[in-house]
Amino acid sequence: MKIDNAVVVITAGGSPSGRAMAEHFCSLGADVVLLDTEWPTLRLSADQCRDYPGRIQPICLADYQPQSINDAFAQIVTLFGGIDVLINHWQGDVLPSLLDNGNLGDMPQTVADSTSHYYVVVQRAAVCMQQRGRPGVIINVAGHHLTPDTVANAMIGGLTQRWAKELSGLKIRVGGIVPRGRTMNRASGGMDDELIRNAEYIVSNDSFNGRLLEASG
């Protein structure tokens, strides 16, 4: 896929990694939409992209309920005509350990609450890509709060493979990026740089599907 003139949606757009990703794709000529629930950080991300060739559009979600997500994607379609790329940041641990005996009764609901909005975002993006009628790309990115040994990485890998199979008939590719190694120097920006390189590679490489790339800082 060519990045220039693509419409790229980035979740957690107010986070440092979301901001860095937005700057990079805007610099390549993509139109970038930032989604987040915190307006001050979202506005900061948008302001840092104003001088690049690609257009930037921040959208502040009232919450992560399905209706708010649906409204945001409807607005994106109205403004840009559709979506080509979704970069979906996973910002927290999404599964408790099986060896954690505390609050066992609450675990199913904990898992459901922490994963439901990620699923809704991907589902809405896939529908928009299908309606657009041209190849699309979905990238699941482990956020900075996810450590390399977290169970969330395994879940991201499993969902990436499953969604890749499910969406292949619609010409929508799915890839993932997870941390590598047990320590990362996030303060240096090295982690963001590698996340960005990997994301650009997945978007540009039309044969990449159903696989993970590892990033280290």
Sketch out the chain's domains with CATH numbers: 7-215 (3.40.50.720)
For the chain, list residues with pLDDT below 70: 91-114, 143-152, 181-191, 217
Residue 101: per-residue pLDDT: 57
Q: What are phi and psi of 87, to 5 degrees?
A: -110, 105
CB atoms within 10 A of CB 166: 12
Tell me what pLDDT residue 88 has.
94
CA distances from 31 to 21, 23, 181 (A): 12, 11, 33
Q: Can you give the pLDDT at residue 188?
A: 43
Distance CA 174, CA 29 (A): 22
CA distance 16 to 22: 10
pLDDT for 118: 86
pLDDT at 187: 45
* Reported pTM: 0.88
pLDDT digits (tens, 9 = 90+) for 151-174: 667 788 899 999 999 999 999 999
pLDDT of residue 117: 82
